[in-house]
Amino acid sequence: MTSSPPRPLRVAVLVCDPLNTSVIAVSGTSDSSASVGPSHAALFTHRLSAAAARLGAAVVTAGYDAYVGDLPPDPAAFDILLLTGSIHGVNDAGPEVEWIRRLVAYIADVVRTDKAAVVGMCFGLQVIAAALGGSVAENPKGWEVGYTSMSLTESGQRYFGSRAPAAIGLLSIHQDEATAVPPGVDLLMSSDKCAVQAFVKENSVFAMQSHPEFNRGIVRELVRYVHLQACELGGAQGTGGQSGSCTDLCTNYLHFLPMPSTRDHSIFTHETHQFTPAFADEVIGKLDGGDAPGDYAAGTHPLSSDWMMDEVVRFVAGRAGVALP
């Protein structure tokens, strides 16, 4: 007699920002350009389903647009609530972002009453940190963008054990950070620029500052979008500060992307405060030129996104009491 398959893991995806249309176009698997759907929820469904399949499990998801105040009325109907990234910050103020205050309070109540577990990525980690009594602020070291090498803490070594790869590299794009882990959680990972890269609390909270759901194509388009917004603002204000920030972002991103041999930084020497679409196309074109085979193929920049998505599924299964094969 064959055993029945485990029940699907139930995940509510709390979308904290709609995907930019150019990002949607490249939100496929690996580094392909295939679209997986017109939403952040569809991207997470795709990535979670792939991870679950690798582990012999299955997931069912439901999407909620948290950025317009849409939240699960019954969080207990799900094993976990997953919070996505966002262009916003937890400390943003104004009536247009009042949804952030409500989201933080909602997550605090869900964790306190143990109605569901919560998982957060990037902005999602920061929401969870704030909800649990931690603190979030702009990173004085600046943006962390692109390929980010991670180191495990002692707690991380115990938590992941032999499942952890020898070298951990994940994709990042954030300016804010959790400045201290909330009470009662275990810090799992850190990077040179950001001390709080991941934390866990028993089977109720799992959060990471990185974006394991992203592939290189998505990060490329996000960086293009952030550069255009920030540098056009700097040009409008007539200041060089924003332009300098964009140069840093470009340089960091170039360091992350695989290039065949040397990395050409000469494209960032333009003396302009206006990061125009034409300049953006030139930068992205240069980056695209080194997209293969590059350093990933050589193994010098191992990407651990699939491993981290697997760990998310393992966490959900543990919370749900579902034994993985």
Those residues whose C-beta lies under 8 Å from the C-beta of residue 52, and which sit 6 or more positions away, are 9, 58, 59, 313
Instruction: Name the catalytic one among 144, 177, 213, 311.
Output: 213
| Cα 106 from Cα 78, distance rounded (Å) | 15
Instruction: Name the catalytic one among 211, 227, 273, 301.
Output: 211
Q: How many CB atoms lie within 10 A of CB 128?
A: 29
Q: Which two tokens stand for residue 119?
A: 């998982």
Q: Return the residue matching tokens 């990972």.
A: 189
* CB 202 within 8 Å of CB 196: no
Does 211 participate in catalysis according to the annotation?
A: yes
Instruction: Name the catalytic one among 40, 46, 88, 122.
Output: 122
> Which residues partner with 147 through β-bridges?
171
Does 282 participate in catalysis according to the annotation?
A: no
Q: Which two tokens stand for residue 22?
A: 């150019």
Q: Counting Cβ atoms within 10 Å, is residue 210 exposed (0-12), middle (13-18) or buried (19+)? A: buried
Q: Residue 312's closest CA among 84, 33, 30?
A: 84
- Concatenate the DSSP letters of all residues of 91-114 into one string: T--SGGGHHHHHHHHHHHHHHHHT
- Three-state DSSP class for 58? coil
Active centre residues (catalytic) = 122, 211, 213
